[in-house]
Copies of this chain bind each other. A is one copy, B any other.
Amino acid sequence: MPNYLLIIILSGLLLAKSYAQQLISTTSPNQSISLVIRNTSEGTISYQLSYKGKAVIEPASLGFVLSKPQVALSRFTLIAADSSTVDENWQPVWGEISQIRNQHKELVLTLQDKSASNIRLRVRFRVFNDGLGFRYEFPQQPALTHFIVADELTQFVLAADHQTFWMPGDYDSNEYLYNTTKLSDIDAVAAADREKDTALKSVIGPDAVQTPILFKTDNGLYISIYEAALVNYPVMHLRVDKQKRTLTAQLVPDAVGNKAYLQTPAQTPWRTVIVSDQATDLLASKLILNLNEPSKIGDASWIKPQKFIGMWWEMHIGKATWEKAGGKHGANTRNVMKYIDFAAKYGFDGVLVEGWNVGWEDWFGNWKEDVFDFVTPYPDYNLDSLTSYARQRGVRIIMHHETSGSVTNYERRMDAAYQFMVKKGINTVKTGYVGRIIPRGEHHDGQWMINHYQRVAEKTAEYKLMLDSHESAHPTGLHRTYPNWMASEAARGSEFNNAPTLGIPPEHTTILPFTRLLGGPMDFTPGLFRFRLNQFDSTRTQRVRTTLAKQLALYVTLYSPLQMVADLPENYEKHLDAFQFIRDVPVDWDDTKVIAAEPGDYVLIARKAKGSSSWFAGAITDENSRDLSLSLSFLDSGNTYEATIYRDAANTDWQTNPETYLIEKKTVTAKTTLPLHLAKGGGCAIQFVKR
């Protein structure tokens, strides 16, 4: 392509050429969001974002440093600007709603490096009504084939010292609590030091935070900065310059300090800014999904959302152990039969069994390469008889592959392990990455591991297996592309209720939907019914910070197509009336209404069951009691519904009286408005059935 300057002005694009810079601007389809690009005479490129006239991102620069070839890509000649418009609908295989609208304007800048490198790249911007996505694209070109990213220079410049919901930047763990401070008060090292329950930390520094990060502005905006379609690239953390209110991409390095190895044509993940003046809109945003590629799985009929129980919590609370040595092995045939019986009796699809395979006597913390082989059950676990026993009862065993972070070992054995599953009739696998990664020097969030997670998604899809990954990197909407990758953990989940120090404070589940869940479903494992955890070990003082009604509501507020029913059968059998909600609540939906929400305070969501006229609602609150109001206008008008309400009692309190709940039935219509009282740390779950 000749080196000429061509600025194409198309409909929806405004181009102004001033003394010092060129300006290109566009807006979202509904005009609420405005994007302005500046190319200065020195060559810097910046983007600026506003929402209904309010500053979201002040002019923020773009660029890269490459280590091969050694060149800084930060000063550009603008070669071309092209725009287009998209408005389409698509249907997810499963999800919160049955049809998703993808409506945006696209602006593509073609840039040429002003240094002698001759490198060209594109920046593709997509402006949605609820935010912005942009990515870098490196086309095939003589000047660039294989290249190594030393640093990405993408910046996000905030307009003020916003209230910020943040987590310490860490290359290996995203299982932190969220901190809520002014941007200028971020101290990630201090926050990480407070967390005693995270086994593996690779904290980046006092100024580094993870994405997604959420801001609430004094002038009423909610802003989320994140990424979408994280493929063949490391996770983007952010470095905070408090004085300049500037966040700069901090990519996760590999074993030798490089960030990404790419070959043209190549592209980065999308960098995203979701913004609204309504907190509820943020939760309803489909921007991340819309920036991902459509499903690569042709026939997806084998992918089934499911609820499952787990041979899992009893290990956490000391009733049993993963390892066989010691005489308390949980995954023994007789015990698993009980779980299968329970699942069959109450209508759950699966039974997750952890600790089934040899190796648990020597796996944790040793950075050992050859640990598990994923195909050898302990001798007291008769897998063949159990799969047969389960099959007869309409239940499936769910496989567990704990890699202990030894991913080279897992990759060697993946094919054999998945063939083993297929042979045994097992079609869902939970993977785990507890421990330092092997290849040594690699991180959970680095490019190599990101590629690994994708390989697992692709390979399980080949074998028609559903996937639930734990200790994996934050999800970025790839469940659209690989709908068999149904959930991941990738945040602090319910297991931390058993952690000795901070545990899961009541507010945690009101922040997750504004942060981690924007990227995809989480296997949070809700549904605990017993909150003192000294049931089998009287020395345990840690507890679950919740009311029982809140545990029910989490099945609605924390969307996932895979939901564990986390507590022990014997604990559920003491509260079968409340348990009924868990039996009834679906894991796939036709529609979702975010009724009310405020990060760190409360969430109230209503969802319509897939292929059914029934609705479900869930409301949760933080450590404060709260009264919310639920207008049922989403119900079909002209019909009456029976509402079964699982709620905190007047004297319920997560600290003093957590297990007290009331179950009420009411007849309601679309005109009804239900007052909801949530206890401290409490919640409310409701089922609406058309009469």
Could you list which residues of chain A lie within 8 angstroms of chain B, going by C-beta atoms?
145-146, 254-256, 258, 261, 263, 362, 366-369, 408, 411-412, 414-416, 439-442, 448, 451, 455
Contacts and interface: CB of A to CB of B under 8 A. Distances in A.
A439 B366 contact: no
A80 to B, nearest CB: 28
Given A255-B255, A439-B439, A366 B146 contact: yes
Contact of A441 (B255, B263, B362): B255
A414 B413 CA distance: 11
A399 B686 CA distance: 65
A263 B366 contact: yes
A184 to B, nearest CB: 35
Most buried by B among A255, A448, A451: A255
A254 B441 CA distance: 9
A439 B408 contact: yes
Nearest to A148: B367
A411 B258 CA distance: 23
17 contacts: A145-B362, A145-B366, A254-B440, A255-B255, A255-B439, A255-B441, A408-B408, A408-B411, A408-B439, A411-B411, A412-B412, A412-B414, A412-B455, A415-B415, A415-B416, A439-B439, A439-B441
Given A255-B256, A439-B255, A369 B261 contact: yes
A362 B411 CA distance: 24
Nearest to A415: B415
A369 B261 CA distance: 9
A451 B414 CA distance: 19
Nearest to A441: B255
Given A411-B412, A441-B441, A442-B439, A263 B368 contact: yes
A261 B408 CA distance: 15
A416 B408 CA distance: 17
A608 to B, nearest CB: 43
A360 to B, nearest CB: 15
A474 to B, nearest CB: 22
A414 B448 CA distance: 19
A455 B366 CA distance: 21
B440 A256 contact: yes
Contacts of A412: 411-412, 414, 455
Contacts of A263: 362, 366, 368
Contacts of A146: 366-368
Nearest to A446: B440
A142 to B, nearest CB: 15
Given A256-B255, A408-B408, A261 B442 contact: no
A625 to B, nearest CB: 50
Nearest to A365: B146
B369 A440 contact: no
A457 to B, nearest CB: 15
A258 B440 CA distance: 10
Contacts of A254: 440-441
Given A255-B441, A258-B440, A412-B412, 16 more contacts: A255-B256, A255-B439, A255-B442, A256-B440, A261-B368, A263-B362, A263-B368, A408-B408, A408-B411, A408-B439, A411-B411, A411-B412, A412-B455, A439-B439, A439-B441, A440-B441
A3 B451 CA distance: 51
Contacts of A258: 440
A92 to B, nearest CB: 29
A662 to B, nearest CB: 53
A601 to B, nearest CB: 43
Contacts of A442: 255, 439
